Amino acid sequence: MSILAIIGVIISSAAMLIVLSGFSGLKNYSLEFISSISPELKVSVTKGKTFEFSSEIKSFLEKENIKYGLSYEDKALISVNENNRIVRLIGLDQGFPENNIDSIMYQGRWFNVEENEIVVGWGAAYDLGISTMDFSNPALLYVPKAGKGQVYSEKDIMSSRRVISSGVFSLNEELNNSLVFCSLGLARELFGLESQAVGAIDIYSNVDSVEKIVSFFGSDFEVENRVQQNSTIYKMLNTEQFAVYLIFSLIVIVALFNVFGALMMMGVEKKENLQTLLVLGGSKEQVGKIFFYQGVMITVSGCFIGVLIGAGLILLQQKLSLFMITPSLAYPVVFELKNFLFVFFVVVILGCIASAFVSYYVKKSIPQISQK
């Protein structure tokens, strides 16, 4: 029974570490793509959608040697082949880093700022039937016009442009289906913005003092870091991670029932021998400690071996790519200290609790023998 108990602890500990490391790998993999389009800092106005990129702002950024780009984001309707979809249209200028472009491009090339070109996610491109550089079948972008007055035709309420898809990008499923990139100039034309109007200043270089930027722009602007820009995604990933922790904690509890059962059966089976210990001068507290320490030894040794096995399998996956998501993409796993500590403390603490219950039961079930 002790061997079966320790095997259960080993398997549950190894499985828990492997799954947590796999989830951490997927989390980092997802955030790695998000970081390709999210700047280190994003400066935008607290009220409204746009502000003027003045010479004063430009001088400040250049004086501080800050690498930046300008952008504007809003919703638009894209239509092609009688297929329609509402997307997030992001207009970018030439400040968008080339490294980020190379990391997300799936097919074709980045848009030409002097042409009416867009870059579409592969999910939207597939669903809408958008082909790269298809001049015979261009897509149409529609955005609502600002203004008042009577409406006589769709031209009175909608601005539109014929655009060509110069390339296809790949980030994640959600963004591939809902995101479209274009030049900032095209976005200004579509939404009827002034030549100096921007939606945000995207800062791509590491900034020594964020407070200095916040102080310069003042209370009318908000400065968001990468986590704040993608707060919904981070919350979702953290919630999923908590659920994984909870589920595998329950699995460990089930596995530790083996330890509990083994110690209980041992206590019942050795009841007469335990009475002999009492006759020889032992106390019920000392007998209880024997079962407690045995349970702790089973738990700690099983957890240690399980963690070593799990770490070895994770290392093999990193080096040999034993499991693949696609023919060219190995399942991502990462070593994280918090996962090792979480597995060790959860297994050991729950094992100690189970051992304490058995110790208490043994002490209560054995009658005290009076010594003369």
pLDDT digits (tens, 9 = 90+) for 246-301: 888 887 887 777 777 777 777 666 666 666 666 666 677 777 788 788 888 888 99
Higher per-residue confidence, 233 vs 342:
342
Percent of the chain with pLDDT over 90: 48
Average pLDDT over the chain reads 86
Residue 337 has pLDDT above 60, yes or no: yes
142 within 8 A of 117, measured Cβ to Cβ = no
What local confidence, expressed as pLDDT, does residue 328 receive?
Answer: 74
3-class DSSP assignment, residue 188: helix
Distance from CA of residue 190 to its chain's centroid?
Answer: 34
Higher per-residue confidence, 360 vs 333:
333
* φ/ψ (deg, to 5) at 42: -130, 120
Residue 68 has pLDDT above 60, yes or no: yes
Q: What's the average model confidence in pLDDT over 102-125?
A: 94
- Between the alpha carbon of residue 10 and those of residues 81, 213, 280, 303, 355, the distances in Å are 57, 52, 36, 6, 17
3-class DSSP assignment, residue 129: coil
Q: What is the reported pTM?
A: 0.72
What local confidence, expressed as pLDDT, does residue 105 receive?
Answer: 93
In the chain, alpha helices (H): 2-34, 55-63, 98-104, 122-128, 173-178, 184-191, 210-217, 226-229, 231-269, 271-279, 284-320, 337-365
Task: Report residue 372's pLDDT band, with 50, 70 and 90 as the boundaries.
Answer: very low
* Cα atoms in the Cβ-side hemisphere of radius 13 Å centred on 6: 12
Q: What's the average model confidence in pLDDT over 150-158?
A: 61
Calpha distance 189→72 (Å, rounded): 12
- Between the alpha carbon of residue 293 and those of residues 40, 289, 300, 342, 359, the distances in Å are 51, 6, 10, 22, 9
Give the list of residues 6+ apart from residue 330 with CB closer than 8 angstroms, or none. 317, 321, 323, 324
